[in-house]
Amino acid sequence: MITVIANLKGGSGKSTVLFNLALWLKEQGEHVTTFDLDPQGTLSDVAEVRKDEQFEELDVLTDINELYHCFDKNILIDVGASNMQDMKKAISKADRVLIPVSPSQPDLWATQRFLKIVKECVPDNKALELLAFVNRADTNKIVRESDETEEALNGIKSIKVLPYRLCQRTMFRRTLSEGMSINEIAPNSKSAKEFNMLASALYVELA
């Protein structure tokens, strides 16, 4: 299963999601191969932090060509719009694309443009699953922007919207700075509960 986590909009939180998802798979006893194709190198940096802190290492590949020789059961790819060539290659090989969408109109516009790029990369006869979810949602229930973003996503016929949001929480930022998964840092937190629900929806067979 090749899962590409991507969007055109910077700051969507894709590296944070991928890092935690890779470690969640390891927590389930699964082997996982990760690719960092984003020039920012966030995933590579946090893997180094993890190594320096002597936690179980997370192997990160940075060459798209290695994907053609990788047959692992679980492959996760982090790629940004600044590396459009590799993004298109990764999408063309993917089984599914996971799209984190922050609650704002610009993020919705970026998502719609991204879906057009995806369509250009995938042959009509290939079944590619497109999944989206609201990331960095506001924790204040009075604020309607997260609800409105999810409603707008549900209006896009080509994607499936996962009803599991990740909120804008400091705990998720700590996972990158400390090189630890949300379950390692705070297993009983709201952040961990949110993430585990999302991960379980993505990997139903492991839940």
> Do the Cβ atoms of 129 and 95 come closer than 8 Å?
yes
112-144 pLDDT per residue, tens: 999 999 999 987 778 899 999 999 999 887 879
Number of domains comprising the chain: 1
Alpha carbons 186 and 6: distance in angstroms, whole number: 26
Q: Measured on CA atoms in the order 11, 15, 20, 25, is the torsion positive or negative?
A: positive
Task: With a cut of 50, list the residues of the chain below it in pLDDT.
Answer: none
Domain range enclosing 79: 2-206
30-46 pLDDT per residue, tens: 999 999 999 999 999 99
Q: What is the CATH number of the domain that holds 125?
A: 3.40.50.300
Which of 48-52's residues contact partners 24+ apart within 8 Å by CB, and which partners?
Answer: 48/179, 49/176, 49/177, 49/178, 49/179, 50/179, 50/180, 51/179, 52/179
